[in-house]
């Protein structure tokens, strides 16, 4: 486990997501909160503390004709960075869905099928 993963308590940190956009996702699933567990953290810019989180939701969400349990969360240019959620701040993040098989692979942050995934903007808080 990396230092960042241990700081986030990967495998034990619980998070809540509240969907903001797009409206068709919110219409189909509601706005949440959707609760899940941080499975893995991935550093994308060590100098700024930027990273992505792989989260498994307790209850799968619908997106198009599929059901998704796993999402990659990444910082947006709105509000606090994901690193701020450990200090109690709320962060706006981009969620990108991925298949269960991809999430369980050795490199889940590489090769995400963005064309087939669901993309959602959400507020994130640590529980």
- At 13, the pLDDT band (50, 70, 90 cuts) reads confident
pLDDT at 33: 96
Q: How far is CA 91 from CA 9, 45, 73, in A?
A: 18, 17, 10
DSSP 8-class letter at 81: -
What is the rounded average pLDDT of the residues 82-87?
Answer: 64
pLDDT at 1: 38
pLDDT at 2: 43
- At 3, the pLDDT band (50, 70, 90 cuts) reads very low
Give 90-113 pLDDT, tens digit per residue: 778 889 999 999 999 988 988 888
Give 14-58 pLDDT, tens digit per residue: 999 999 999 999 999 999 999 999 998 877 765 555 678 899 999
Residue whose token pair is 């994901």:
82
Q: How many CB atoms lie within 10 A of CB 5?
A: 19
Residue whose token pair is 């450990």:
86
Which one, of 24, 30, 86, 88, lies nearest residue 59 by Cα?
30
Give the start-to-end residue ranges of the domains of the chain: 3-126
Tally of residues, the chain: 127
- At 5, the pLDDT band (50, 70, 90 cuts) reads very low
Q: How far is residue 48 CA from its own chain's centroid? A: 19
């Amino acid at each position: 486990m990396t230092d960042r993963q241990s700081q986030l308590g990967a495998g034990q940190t619980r998070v809540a997501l509240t969907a903001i956009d797009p409206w068709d996702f919110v219409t189909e699933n509601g706005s949440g909160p959707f609760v899940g567990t941080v499975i893995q953290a991935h550093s994308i810019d060590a100098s700024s503390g930027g990273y992505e989180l792989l989260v498994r939701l307790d209850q799968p969400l619908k997106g198009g004709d599929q059901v998704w349990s796993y999402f990659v969360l990444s910082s947006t240019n709105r509000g606090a960075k994901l690193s701020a959620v450990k200090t109690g701040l709320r962060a706006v993040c981009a969620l990108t869905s991925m298949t269960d098989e991809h999430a369980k692979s050795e490199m889940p942050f590489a090769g995400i099928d963005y064309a087939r995934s669901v993309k959602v903007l959400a507020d994130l808080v640590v529980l």
